[in-house]
Amino acid sequence: MTRCILAALAVLVASAASAEPSACPARLFVSGYYSTVHVFDACSGAFLRDLDPAGRIKGAQAVRLGPDGLVYVTSEMSQQILRYRNDTLEFVDVFATLPGADPTGFAFGPGGDVYVAAFGTNDVRRLSAAGTALDVPVAAGAAGLQGPDNGITFAPDGNLYVPGYYSNNVIRHDPRTGTTTVAVARGAQKLGNTRGLLPEPGGGGLLITGEGSHQLLRLDLLSGNVTVMNGNLNSPTGLAFGVDGSLLVLERNTVRKLDPATGAVTGVLVTPGAGNVDFGTYLAVIPAAFAPAKTAVVEYYHAALDHYFVSALPADIAALDSGQLAGWARTGHTFNAYPDAAPGTSPVCRFYLPPANGDSHFYSASPAECAEVAAKFPAFVQESPAVMHIGLPDPVTGECAEGLVRVYRLWNGRADSNHRYTADAVEKAAMIAKGHVAEGYGPDATIMCAPA
């Protein structure tokens, strides 16, 4: 490909629009202890999908949106907290494993630390933002706590509140002083099996569910008074505020709408049996994020030059497909990338190698490698620091995150330097057999990770 075609290939045309997202700005996550986490439209209550049909979630409990934009899920039976993408809902990784803790819930505290309710040991653990164990700020049985449950939460007053399922109370922990005290006394207003906690938007109160006492209660954070808002619910567990401002309460496999001021039932958002929720434990309304649009990276081959070229740019593709640039033909191989920045991706730089260096193009998704190439080969022309966006593999293992596929880079090692980029492992092996050198990370030499 000659240098003169750069002008023809210089314009980046906007990619095709992504599929139109749901009009609802949020999704409703409902945990079923004996099923999984079920995802509903937070506006209509329509069932959308199960979060993870692979069976990783065992004993689904608390679900929260983390400060990193990922959805965190408690899997009590497997003693884990898992993470999922908020746009595609794909599994990301295991954030933490807590053997013997029987984690039920967690809350994000100051500095991003994670406070975990350990039902099995009657304490609260503190983890770093990376999932590393730090300490136990709430000791076993502190302030009479028994069975810390999934409603654990920070309130606007800066204190951590923990429901005691078996102690029928709520305790208060101040992370600034390290003190732990009783917020709601054992059995106050006949409270039984404390489960859900939800701070009011104005910060004046904390809403509480008593699963065993069938109640919705309110703790006034200033006075400490506890009042019953509704004493006729059906084993209520999870609490969340709906997109319309209503209070949502989970009753086994039903999500009811209540008046947040009076506690009166006003309707049903999720009907019994929808989504097959089995033994509901937790509710979360999380702002929806939608997957960015993908674009195809198309491969071409020039037989006379024995050169390969890939591009996701519409201007490039139009020029090549039209025959404006003679000699180039599609190979039939493609992989995906994003035209714009997307979570978990890196910008891909593109360099043009002048005729003396090969009359071809070089791509890298590593900012460090892009900088190294620019410094080491000043004759190379950097056409763009971000011609597309794609994932990077683990630099040691070469592994790609779940939902991404490996892309390989093969160098011909000749004076007319040329690289081939392919997601086809068979093609990679064939190129190596011809003498090409695989460039990448890990034992499999993976250079990029493309969205499937």
Residue 108 maps to which CATH number? 2.130.10.10
> In which region does residue 4 sit, left (phi positive, over 0), alpha (psi from -120 to 50) or beta (all else)?
alpha
* Cα–Cα distance, 116 to 104 (Å, whole number): 8
Query: What SS3 class is residue 426?
Result: helix
Residues 178 and 193 in one domain: yes
Residues 12 and 112 in one domain: no
pLDDT of residue 2: 37
Residues 272 and 136 in one domain: yes
Among residues 236, 267, 287, the one where a domain terminates is 287
* Cα–Cα distance, 157 to 177 (Å, whole number): 13
pLDDT of residue 12: 28
Its pTM surpasses 0.75: no
* Cα–Cα distance, 381 to 352 (Å, whole number): 5
Residues 229 and 185 in one domain: yes
Residues 10 and 114 in one domain: no
* Cα–Cα distance, 81 to 444 (Å, whole number): 30
Residues 117 and 233 in one domain: yes
pLDDT of residue 10: 34
Range of the domain at 432: 3-18+292-451
Number of domains forming the structure of the chain:
2
Instruction: Give the residue carrying structure tokens 């006034």.
Output: 220
Among residues 257, 287, 317, the one where a domain terminates is 287
Residues 325 and 259 in one domain: no
* Cα–Cα distance, 293 to 296 (Å, whole number): 10
Which residues does the chain have with pLDDT short of 50? 1-22
Among residues 260, 287, 314, the one where a domain terminates is 287
Q: Kindly state the DSSP code that residue 13 receives in the 8-state scheme.
A: P
Residues 345 and 308 in one domain: yes
pLDDT of residue 403: 81
pLDDT of residue 402: 80
Residues 324 and 226 in one domain: no
Residues 229 and 282 in one domain: yes
Instruction: Give the residue carrying structure tokens 């990193």.
Output: 68
Q: In residues, how long is the chain?
A: 452
* Cα–Cα distance, 141 to 144 (Å, whole number): 5
Q: Kindly state the DSSP code that residue 291 receives in the 8-state scheme.
A: P
Residues 197 and 318 in one domain: no
Residues 100 and 233 in one domain: yes
* Cα–Cα distance, 104 to 123 (Å, whole number): 11
- How far from chain centre, in Å, is Cα 12? 29
